[in-house]
Amino acid sequence: MSELSTYMQAGVLTAPRFIELQQRPIPEPGPGEVRIKMKSVGICGSDVSLYQGHRPDLVFPLIIGHEGIGYIDKVGEGVSQLQLGDRVVIEPNYPCGRCDYCWRGRSNICSNKRIIGVLETGCFADYAVVPSNFAWPIPDSIRDDDAVVIEPTAVALHTLYSSPARPGDTIAVIGLGAIGLLVSHLAQRMGYTVLAYDRVQEKVDSASAFGAIPIPANADKTQIARSCKDARVHTVFECAGAAPALTLAIESAPRGAYVVVAGLSDKPSAITEFSMTRQGINLITSIIYQHPVDFRRTIGLIESGFLQPGRIISAREPFDNLASALETASMGYHTKIVLDLAVS
């Protein structure tokens, strides 16, 4: 793309399972906004869900994507904390900061929340414009591989902190996509004992490499429940985002345990209220993160070398391969596919 060009390449979802690279006008930052020349973008499970048509309220066409890093290319009026050339990561959920939920410290469920790549233009493109308060400078000590997964790592941190389990306790993670693996990594590093299960053995092996105790992919629900009971699991984390996984998590939770639901299935689960109540199973939901504390904590943990979240990246592709990469991600075998853009 010529330096004088006013157009950029963008990944536009035009219908379920139809995404194409189109030429779109390069956006201009407004007051309080910055423009980012994107360097790398990650494919999230929610991107796959959008691509597969699981969000009926989505308005087409839409530039999707919300995990990304790049360099500040232009600043809008009133922006002083960021400079041209700064390497930044996008925090893609923008709470309003004014509603009752935000004032109660629950900005993650803000009813006025803006979400790039879902409710408005995302970052699967050469350039993205975001509010300056949601573009976080990345310290030089953080590698690009770790930086591009800061957003899902913040989700994992918030997920782990949603449970009353503490270091020294034993937890189980069901579903070892990006969030499940990152919860496993974070918890193991913090001193929890972690049991890990997924239907894909390669993902179980990845969690084992992080230090988790593997539950074989071919284990049945009775064996999984027995493993959780024998290990005295305090909390089961459902990170698969599939209705059967929530059922499995509740049925596997020992008496008096907690179940944290981080998955986003759009299908009903089979839950027996009598059994869950009689055994004192406590259900907790967790979604995204709190602004700004969770991003700040996450960046600090990575900068210190405590976390190496880039280890979950299972494939890298050029951005031109976006369509095929989304198809590959839809198959469910990869933990994180990252697309690299040409940065001049």
Strand partners, 235: 171, 258
**Pair 164, 235: CB distance under 8 Å:** yes
The span from the CA of 154 to the CA of 284, in Å, is: 18
- What are the start-end ranges of the E strands in 44-117? 62-63, 67-75, 87-90, 93-94, 114-115
The one-character DSSP state at 27 is: P
112-116-117-122 Cα dihedral, nearest 10 degrees: 160
Structural Rg of the chain based on CA atoms: 20
Task: Tell me which residue of 153, 136, 117 sits closest to 34, measured CA to CA.
Answer: 136
Task: Tell me which residue of 300, 332, 168 sits closest to 234, measured CA to CA.
Answer: 168
Which residues, 6+ apart, have CB-to-CB distance to 153 below 8 Å?
182, 186, 298, 302, 307, 309
Q: Give domain limits for the chain.
A: 7-152+289-340, 163-285
Question: Helix, strand or coil for residue 161?
Answer: helix
pLDDT digits (tens, 9 = 90+) for 164-174: 999 999 999 99
**Pair 284, 261: CB distance under 8 Å:** yes
**Region 46-66: what's the mean pLDDT?**
94
pLDDT of residue 268: 86
The model's pTM is: 0.96
pLDDT of residue 252: 97
pLDDT of residue 344: 60
**Region 56-74: what's the mean pLDDT?**
95
**Pair 153, 210: CB distance under 8 Å:** no
pLDDT of residue 1: 45
pLDDT digits (tens, 9 = 90+) for 177-225: 999 999 999 999 999 999 999 999 999 999 999 999 999 999 999 999 9
Assign domain 163-285 to its CATH superfamily: NAD(P)-binding Rossmann-like Domain (3.40.50.720)
Residue 89, pLDDT > 60, answer yes
Residue 45, pLDDT > 60, answer yes
CATH topology of domain 7-152+289-340: Quinone Oxidoreductase; Chain A, domain 1 (3.90.180)
